[in-house]
Amino acid sequence: MRLRLSPAAGMDFSECYGDTVSSVAAVARSGCRRRVRRLIKRGFSVDGRDNRGWNALHEAAAAGSRECAQDILAAAKAAGSSSSFVNSVTHEGESACYLAAQRGHLSLVRLLITAQADINQLTNDLSCPLYAAVDGGYQQIVELLVSEGAEVNRTHTASCWSCLHQAVYKGYKEIVQILVNVCNLEALDDHKITPLFVAAQYGRQECLEILVNAGANVNTQAADLATPLLISSQEGHQACVDFLLERGADPNLCCSHDWFQLPIHAAAASGHIGVLRRLIAATDRVCDGGDGLVSPLYVAIENQQSSSVELLLEEGYSPDAQDCSKILGITTPLTYALCYTSNTP
pLDDT tens digits for range 213-261: 999 999 999 999 999 999 999 999 999 999 999 999 999 999 999 888 9
User: What is the band of 17 on the pLDDT scale with cuts at 50, 70, 90?
Assistant: very low
pLDDT, the chain, mean: 89
Q: Which residues contact 238 (CB under 8 A, 6 or more apart)?
A: 272, 274, 275, 278
For 84-138, what is each residue's pLDDT tens digit?
Answer: 899 999 999 999 999 999 999 999 999 999 999 999 999 999 999 999 999 999 9
User: What is the band of 7 on the pLDDT scale with cuts at 50, 70, 90?
Assistant: very low
pLDDT of 8 over the 70 cut: no
pLDDT of 14 over the 50 cut: no
Highest mean pLDDT among 17-31, 35-49, 241-255: 241-255
Q: What is the pLDDT of residue 20?
A: 64
Q: What is the pLDDT of residue 333?
A: 63
Burial (Cβ within 10 Å: 0-12, 13-18, ≥19) of residue 314? exposed
Ranges 1-5, 116-120, 233-237, 332-336: which has the least confidence: 1-5
Q: What is the pLDDT of residue 259?
A: 85
Q: Which domains does the chain have, with CATH numbers?
A: 1-118 (1.25.40.20)
As a whole number, mean pLDDT of residues 7-19 equals 41
For 288-303, what is each residue's pLDDT tens digit?
Answer: 887 888 899 888 988 8
Q: What is the pLDDT of residue 200?
A: 98
Say what percent of the chain tops pLDDT 70: 88
Residue type, 35: R
Helices 106-114/66-78 angle, 10° precision: 20
